[in-house]
Amino acid sequence: MRPGVRNSRMQRSAIVGTTNQRKAAVTETNPWSAEGYDHHARFVSELAGGVFDWLAPKPGERILDLGCGDGALTERIVAAGASVLGIDHSPSMLDAARERGMDVRSGDARQLDFDTEFDAVFSNAVLHWVTEADLAVAGVARALKPGGRFVAEFGGHGNVATIVTAMRAAAQIHGGEAGLAHPWYFPTPEQYGALLQDHGFTVHRIALIPRPTPLPTGMQGWLATFRQPFFDQFPQAHRAAVLETAVSLMEPSLRDCKGNWTADYVRIRLEARLGPVADGDPAT
Binding interface with ligand BEZ (CB under 6 A): 10, 125, 128, 155, 159-160, 184, 226, 265
Task: Tell me whether strands 201-214 and 262-274 are parallel, antiparallel or unpaired.
Answer: antiparallel
Q: Which helix (H) or strand (E) holds 119?
A: strand 118-124
Specify the residue, 150 or 226, whose C-beta has the smaller distance to ligand BEZ. 226
Give the nearest distance from C-beta 163 to ligand BEZ in angstroms: 8
Nearer to ligand BEZ, 10 or 14 (CB): 10
Nearest distance from residue 195's CB to ligand BEZ, in Å? 18
| Shortest Å distance, C-beta 241 to ligand BEZ | 23
CB of 74 to ligand BEZ, least distance (A): 18
Instruction: Give the CB-nearest residue to ligand BEZ.
Output: 155
If the CB atoms of residues 150 and 186 are measured against ligand BEZ, the closer one turns out to be: 186
Distance CA 152, CA 51 (A): 7
Residues found in the chain: 284
Smallest distance, Å, CB 125 to ligand BEZ? 4
What is the b/e burial string over 20-33, where b = at least 16 CB atoms within 10 angstroms of the residue's CB? eebeebbebbbbbb
Q: Nearer Cβ to ligand BEZ, position 127 or 137? A: 127
Q: Which residues lie across from 62 on neighbouring strands?
A: 83
**Angle CA 22–70–81, to nearest 5:** 115
184 or 201, CB closer to ligand BEZ? 184
3-state secondary structure of 83: strand
Smallest gap from Cβ 27 to ligand BEZ, in A, equals 15
Quick check: 237 and 108 in contact, CB under 8 A? no
For residue 204, what are the CA distances in angstroms to 67, 147, 156? 22, 12, 17
Separation between Cα atoms, residue 74 and residue 272, nearest integer Å:
20
Closer by beta carbon to ligand BEZ, 39 or else 128 = 128
Quote helix, strand, coil % in the chain, to nearest 5: 40, 20, 35
CB 88 within 8 A of CB 12: yes
Q: What's the closest the beta carbon of residue 284 comes to ligand BEZ, in angstroms?
A: 23
d(CA 96, CA 92): 6
Cβ proximity to ligand BEZ: between 44 and 55 the closer is: 44
